Amino acid sequence: MAYEGKGVWCVGEVRHGDLSPSLFELITAGRIIADARSETLTAVLIGKGVAAKADEVAARGADKILVLEHDALDQLVDEAHTGALTAAAGTEKPRTLLFSASVYGRSVAPRVAVALGGAVASDASALTVTDGKLTLERSAFGSAVISTVAVNAADGPEVVTTAPMAFERSGTSETKAEVTQAAVDPASWTQNTEFVSFSADESKEIDLGGAEKIVSGGRGLGNADNFSLIRDLAKSLGAAVGASRAVVDSGWIPYKHQVGLTGRQVRPRLYVACGISGQIQHLAGMKSSDVIVAINTDADCPMMKLATYSVKGDLTQIIPAIVSEIDKVRGSSNGS
């Protein structure tokens, strides 16, 4: 039985009261599809108390906002979020559902695709619609290849996750999206998961996934204490803190900061690699960054060879000099 869906849903993530800006990346991506097919774009807000977020989203390029509100959706319980989205999509029949390729997206999008008998593809960094058919580009093999994937969902919707930071965030629009509520009934899904607790990270650090700027440190730091240099520069630039596996394995910084094949894949506007040689497994996680700055004593290492700006020197001297130069520049521009 062929599936006759229409419209694009962009599923937003609200965690502990905060709306992830990845929704605005999804709206940019979703507009490509919706405009090509002359369909409407709906931003979906799902959770508890998320109706209050509709104002933040109303003038950001969506045609409609659909609110799925229920106490049972307060935390990420995969079956609950899947159940609520599946029920709503079963009624509204969107042709496309977009999620960010975060833990949320990787957990919920595949389950929704199975429940609705659709197709699922991950990590889109570009989307094209030709004669109504959707294709996407994604990287594979440790960012060594870009593959083009055709999506042919006959029996259900197309479910796609987009690579974080691959699409610009949508700007403000003139028109305001109309808000509607969808019914949520926990009896419509089977739940074998119980949410127990959440423990917040003590350090309120900028998360790597959605970071515009990242400063990363590697073995060239020499010792764990020198990570303070990385944190200083990150603070000065308003950047998140990343690391190579060498220093994570040495216990200088927790795993969640690791960038690379076996860590996080990131795509910031600015990536500053300090004392990182640029082995292929590290590059796999960050080489799609717009601007790369390398600071290294070895001008011939791979990172220095591919950096947009390479600075040859000892990072223990260079980084403090950069921080004070930034202070100086900011100071004079504030004064003028």
Partner 1 sequence: MGIHIAVCIKRTPSSTSVAIDESGQIQTAGLPHGINPFDEYAIEEALRIKEKLEGSKVTIISAGAPESEDVVKAALALGADEGVVVTDPAFDGSDTMVTSLILSKTVEKLGDVKLILFGKQTNDGESGHMTALVGARLGRPSISAVRKVTDIDADSITVQRLMDDGADTLKLNLPAVVGVTKEINEPRLPSLKGKMRAKKAAIPKWGAGDIGVDAAVVGKDASPTGVVKMEPVPARTAGTAITGETPEELAKNLVEKLKETKFI
Ligand X SMILES: Cc1cc2nc3c(=O)[nH]c(=O)nc-3n(C[C@H](O)[C@H](O)[C@H](O)COP(=O)(O)OP(=O)(O)OC[C@H]3O[C@@H](n4cnc5c(N)ncnc54)[C@H](O)[C@@H]3O)c2cc1C
Specify the residue, 45 or 101, whose C-beta has the smaller distance to partner 1.
Answer: 101
**DSSP code, position 47:** E
Specify the residue, 173 or 279, whose C-beta has the smaller distance to partner 1.
Answer: 279
Q: Per CB under 6 A, does 314 bind ligand X?
A: yes
Q: Per CB under 8 A, does 195 bind partner 1?
A: yes
Query: What are the CA-CA distances from residue 280 to residues 196, 284, 285, 290, 303 (Å)?
Result: 39, 6, 9, 18, 10
Q: How far is the CB of 320 from partner 1 (least distance, A)?
A: 8
Report the C-alpha gap between 35 and 166 in whole angstroms.
19
Q: Please, are residues 232 and 327 in contact by the beta-carbon 8 Å criterion? A: no
Q: Per CB under 6 A, does 232 bind ligand X?
A: no
Q: Please, are residues 64 and 180 in contact by the beta-carbon 8 Å criterion? A: yes
**DSSP code, position 54:** H
Q: How many CA atoms lie within 13 A of 88 on its CB side?
A: 26
Any bridge partners for residue 46, and if so which?
68
Q: How far is the CB of 198 from partner 1 (least distance, A)?
A: 5
Stretch that binds partner 1, among 31-39, 40-48, 53-61, 135-143 (CB under 8 A): 135-143
Q: Per CB under 6 A, does 242 bind ligand X?
A: no
Report the C-alpha gap between 197 and 185 in whole angstroms.
23
Specify the residue, 73 or 292, whose C-beta has the smaller distance to ligand X.
Answer: 292
Q: Per CB under 8 A, does 172 bind partner 1?
A: no
| Interface pick for partner 1 out of 141, 175, 180, 222 (rule CB under 8 A) | 141
Specify the residue, 36 or 270, whose C-beta has the smaller distance to partner 1.
Answer: 270
Q: Per CB under 8 A, does 102 bind partner 1?
A: yes
Q: Per CB under 8 A, does 145 bind partner 1?
A: yes
- Counting residues that bind ligand X (by CB under 6 A) gives 34
Residues 273-312 binding ligand X (CB under 6 A) are 275-277, 279, 281-282, 285, 295-298, 301
What is the rounded (10 degree) CA torsion for 166, 181, 103, 241? 60
